[in-house]
Each structure stands twice: as structure tokens, then as C-alpha cells.
Amino acid sequence: MIVLDSNQLRHVLPGSPLYGLLSAVAGRAGHTLATTDVALAEVVRQRKEDLGAALKAWTTAGFEARRLMLTDRNRIKTLALHPKQLHGRRRGIAHEQSLELERRLRAAFLVLDTLPEDALSAILMEAQHLPPCEHGMGARDATIYLTTLRAAVAPQISASGEALPLLFVSEDGDFSRFKLPVGLGFDALREVKVLHQRTVVATLNTLGFPKSAANSDDVVARPEFQQALVEAVINSPIMPIRLLRQAEEAVEVRIYRQAGAPAESCTGDGVTVTSMTGEWSIRFVEQVMPVRPNGMPGGYRGFGMRAEGTALLVEGGSHSPSVELNSLVLSFPDR
């Protein structure tokens, strides 16, 4: 069985090239794709919030476009849905779409239900500051992992009669420090073995698809990556309003790789998946300054910032290349 945490499940949605690849590879190896009820609920909630925010931005943009038009304002009605109609319906649309996403996820993945006693144990672990909840938080992670361990008690059997290991896929490093506490009724789980994989690329490698190093600078230079990073930065709730306005007025955006491990890539069934963790410098240029009298570059007017996180680039098949960013942390060293 391959159990996906929420930070990986959002990349492997039904209908995506990555889902097609992972499901085919897992099926050939005898594995079932699965997730937990808690991880599924988190992914559905995130998608609902993202869609609601996008519909709100669309509504605002529609009203602003009508305000700025001097003539023929009704031409805006040629949009698929008029902003005034959308304004009253966006919550309903987001709710309907989230229900549809949940339906598709439940059809594509085996959903593991959390036992009430495991949920209670996770809360007690958080209350007692037991790993991985030693800082008084992490009951969600503990619940997901306990549910995963339950699923590994009776392993799946391959076509050749071998017991298959359970692969748990999550970029969250806290799971590597998970220890079953004494006295909470976990004796049956102490001998259970789970292989923790950080990324889908690592999982594909475990299933027999060799991974190779990729040039991180080449990935950063790709238009798909740069567009995804800029959109993530602009849509971040911690982006200061003043800087957001400057970013929207920028005539150029310069993105450079600052640090991070080499990218890893894996290809199978016509799909290439590249995973990269790093830190990137982003410079929003409002105006390029003239060359200085001494011949040195004049610099630029604008502002710089940094972003740190994990990127997943998927390309192949009939789909355009797509980039997903996870665990994005922004900093403004010059501010």
C-alpha cells in the first residue's frame, strides 16, 4: 500500500499526469493507492479555500474593469459568468466543487478511517508533548501516522506471494521522529514497519524507476517555475500590501537560486517528475537604472525578497507542464 499525506496528495489528484503514472506503477507492483480521512479532509478544505479566493479575485477584477470602461460596459457580460452573478454564487460554487473533488478522491484512493481511540491518543500525545508533538502541537500528524500503522498490520501480498512494505509519502520530517509511547495501547503496532518516503519521486524510485540528478538552475530558469513562484508570492497572505502593489507594477522579475539540494527527476510512462527543495531570490524590478559613470551597472528600483520551499514539476502526455509549490516560506531581508 502507498499512503499519501496531504502535502503529496494535492499533487496526485485524479486526472493529473502524476496520478496516471503513480497509479500505473503502483498497480504493476501490487500496491493500492491510499490516504487517510484526515489528509483527504485537509486537501479538500485547501482546494475550497483556494477556489473561493480565486473567484473573489475574479469578481473584484470584473467590477474594476466595468468601472474603468468609458463606453460599452456591458461587453463584460461576454464573460462566462458575469461578476454580479458570481459575487452571490462564489461560496456555493466553491462548496459544490469541493464536494466533487472529495467524490473523485474517494473513487481513486482507498480512504483509511481514523479509529476514535487513535484520535484520542494523538490528542494525549500533544497534551503530554510526546514526539512528534513535543512542542504542544502535531496531533494531526500523529493521527495520520497511527492510521497508517494500522493499515500496515496486514500487509498486501504481491503476485509472487511476497509481503509488500507500506510506503508512507510525506515531505514532513516529523514522521521520522515518531515513537509509539508506552501505556497507550500500541503493543500491536510496535513491530509494524513503514517506509517513509519524502516525495513521489523517491517513491517511484523505490518502485523501480531510477531517479537521476537534475540541474536545479535549469529548473529555476523555466518559465513554468518562475510563473508559479511569482503567483504564489503575490497570493501569499503574508505579502505586505505596499510590496504587493510594487510587485504588480514591476516591469521585470528576476529569479535566482540561492541554495538547496540538487533536483531529482524520474521518468516513466511518458511522464517526467522533477522534485526540488531550495531557496530562491526574487527581485521585482520597477525601473532599470542607467549605467553609472564608471561603467558599472546602475542597478534597479524595486525590491528583493526570498522564498524557500519545495517545488514539483510534472510534464508529459497531453498536459502542459505544471508546477506545484509546497511549504513556501517568504522573507524580506532588506525590509
Give the tens place of pLDDT for each residue, 114-141.
999 999 988 988 998 887 788 888 899 8
pLDDT at 262 over 70: yes
- Quick check: 252 and 230 in contact, CB under 8 A? no
CATH class of 211-331: alpha beta
Q: What is the pLDDT of residues 61-114, one digit of tens each?
A: 777 777 777 776 666 555 545 555 665 677 888 889 999 999 999 999 999 999
Residues 221, 222, 223, 226: is their CA dihedral positive or negative? Answer: negative
Per-residue pLDDT, 313: 92
* Cβ-based burial of 141 (10 A; exposed 0-12, middle 13-18, buried ≥19): buried
Q: What are phi and psi of 90, to 5 degrees?
A: -65, -35
What percent of the chain has a predicted confidence (pLDDT) above 70? 92
Highest mean pLDDT among 14-23, 57-66, 95-104, 202-211: 95-104
Per-residue pLDDT, 222: 92
Per-residue pLDDT, 325: 87
pTM: 0.80
C-alpha cell recorded at residue 214:
537534475
User: What's the mean per-residue pLDDT of the chain?
Assistant: 86
Per-residue pLDDT, 80: 46
C-alpha cell recorded at residue 168:
508512507
pLDDT at 40 over 90: yes
Task: Tell me the domain boundaries of the chain.
Answer: 2-206, 211-331
Query: Residue 125's CB: how many other CB atoms inside 10 A?
Result: 25
Name 174's Cβ contacts closer than 8 Å, sequence gap at least 6. 132, 138, 141
Cα→Cα distances 45→38, 42, 102, 124, 261, Å: 11, 5, 10, 25, 31
